[in-house]
């Protein structure tokens, strides 16, 4: 009998999702974006913003489930400064987190979301708050 814990079963689902994406691309299907990959963010990846953002907003290629999703704002050495999963029903592809007052410097946005097709999508990027 094979016992899988929650983490590895999610990993397996993520893997089958990736395989599905490959087949979708090979077949020329338009469903490759069914999994909710990150398509846009504010601030965006590598962006330098003049002042600290009040929120970090992410937009995905498909719907996401806020109760099972999380965004964190972290320092480069991994200290979590903000955490949240604010979703609005009218915009099922968007998720945001309120930012604390961020001093000038580099920050990491890390996300792990449950997409509406049941797959977990995760990733991270960085942005910089410039000194005045």
Report, in Å, the least distance between residue 117 CB and Cu ion.
Answer: 4
Q: How many beta carbons lie within 10 A of that of residue 11, not counting itself? A: 13
Provide, rounded to whole angstroms, the least separation between the CB of residue 34 and Cu ion: 6
Binding of Cu ion by 119 (CB under 5 A): yes
HSE toward the beta carbon, residue 53, CA cutoff 13 A: 23
Selected binder of Cu ion within 61, 117, 120, 124 (CB under 5 A): 117
- Per CB under 5 A, the list member of 13, 14, 17, 75 interacting with Cu ion is 17
- Decide: 113 and 92 in contact? Cβ < 8 Å: no
Using rule CB under 5 A, residue 35 touches Cu ion = yes
* Interface with Cu ion: number of residues (CB under 5 A): 4
Nearer to Cu ion, 10 or 17 (CB): 17
Which one, of 119, 109, 66, 123, lies nearest residue 91 by Cα? 66
Contact by Cβ (8 Å): 71, 109: yes
**Edge to edge, what strands does the sheet with 105-114 contain?**
48-49, 120-129, 105-114, 70-74, 80-84
Binding segment (CB under 5 A) for Cu ion, from list 27-35, 41-49, 64-72, 73-81: 27-35
47 binds Cu ion, rule: CB under 5 A: no
Footprint of Cu ion (CB under 5 A): 17, 35, 117, 119
């Amino acid at each position: 009998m094979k016992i899988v814990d929650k983490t590895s079963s999610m990993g397996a689902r993520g893997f089958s999702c990736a395989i599905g994406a490959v087949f979708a691309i090979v077949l020329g299907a338009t469903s490759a974006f069914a999994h909710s990959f990150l398509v846009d963010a504010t601030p965006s990846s590598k962006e330098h913003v003049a002042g600290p953002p009040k929120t970090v907003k992410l937009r995905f290629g498909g719907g996401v489930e806020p109760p099972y999703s999380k965004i964190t704002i972290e320092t480069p050495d991994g200290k979590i400064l903000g955490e949240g999963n604010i979703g609005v029903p009218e915009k099922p592809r968007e998720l945001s987190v309120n930012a604390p007052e961020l001093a000038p410097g580099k920050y990491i946005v890390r996300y792990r979301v449950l997409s509406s097709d049941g797959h977990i999508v995760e990733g991270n990027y960085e942005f910089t708050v410039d000194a005045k």
